[in-house]
Structure 1
Amino acid sequence: MKNKKILLAYGSGGELMHQLIEDLFLKNFNNEIIEKLDDSASLPSLSEKFDICFTTDSYTVDPVFFPGGDIGKLSVCGTINDLSVCGARPLFISCSFIIEEGFDFEDLEKIVDSMRKVSETTGVKIVTGDTKVVEKGKADKIFINTSGIGIKDKNLKLGKEYIEVGDKVIISGTIGDHEISIISKRLNFETEIESDC
């Protein structure tokens, strides 16, 4: 690693994040499952028909409320999406909260309610979780980690290794709405664009 300190860019999904994953995490955690670097790990199962898919993600979005959603809705939708893009049927989610002391209880209720709504709408159950509260100034309002489990047909072949020249890319909506909704709230400018989470 070139840098002696972790930079914000290491969490942005770009070149530095890829370098961190390759040079540190894969070097130490490498196995035939993680080396694929898919959005969900496809695990061996006891079934002849299905594999188990497992994913986890952490959410640190600021602001926590934005046009079209909030950190809670984003966390559940994001985990469901990570399973779905690997061809899995999402079944169960865990959620863990790290909450800064002094965070408004009413805001926490709104966040949890939006998570409940997504869970009910999709039929993906939130089945376990954890909560920690840290001293004021030790976190930025609220962080959420969600993990999800789903099942995938063993015969379904999805993944980077199956992409071929000539394949079609299907986009199911507009691109960039989520990012624009967060930036508009953060920079305080008006837009009708809402997050698609």
Structure 2
Amino acid sequence: MSDTASGPFERERRFLLKPDPLTAYLRDTVPESVMELRQAYLGLDPQRTIRVRLARPLAVSAFLTTLLGEELPKAGPWREAWLTLKGLSTVEDKQLVRREWELPLDPAQAGTILEELALKPEIHKLRARITAGEFCWELDLFLGQNKGLLLAELELPAGLELPERPHWLGDEITADLRYSNSALVTQPFEGWSV
């Protein structure tokens, strides 16, 4: 996320992940971090979305073992939480661009909001952060009703091109809003005919 005089902007590119090349890569490359994320939306207006997210750290091996079909390891309490406000998404220079604000929340309060106020179903996923080349990638392994979906996100400054794509990236889906987390609430991946 970058700040400008008019406020914070998120600029990202999104890709599908190729499971087999990714698995081979992760056998030799340890993620910098792995988090379990639980999130839901309080509103899905295309002009603005309001999301509540809980996060807790997992062992860095958890992403690969879950990708290989093993059961998600037991985790401790939720450690972090945020309320995220996002504006209308547009595609500019191959990047998805939108205003975004993240405000910290108490994890217990966020859990109550998720249970009592948020739209269902929730999005449940693992997120691994890895550095490939000069970029930090966020890899999402979806669980629950979106199981089987593997996405990569990369935040880039305005105008910066991606010089070389890692071999484990699949098709670019930046402009395909079906893959947005908010869209996956109303049209979960398990119901798609792929």
State TM-score, norm by structure 1: 0.23
State TM-score, norm by structure 2: 0.24
Going by fraction, where is strand more abundant, 1 or 2?
2
Going by fraction, where is helix more abundant, 1 or 2?
1
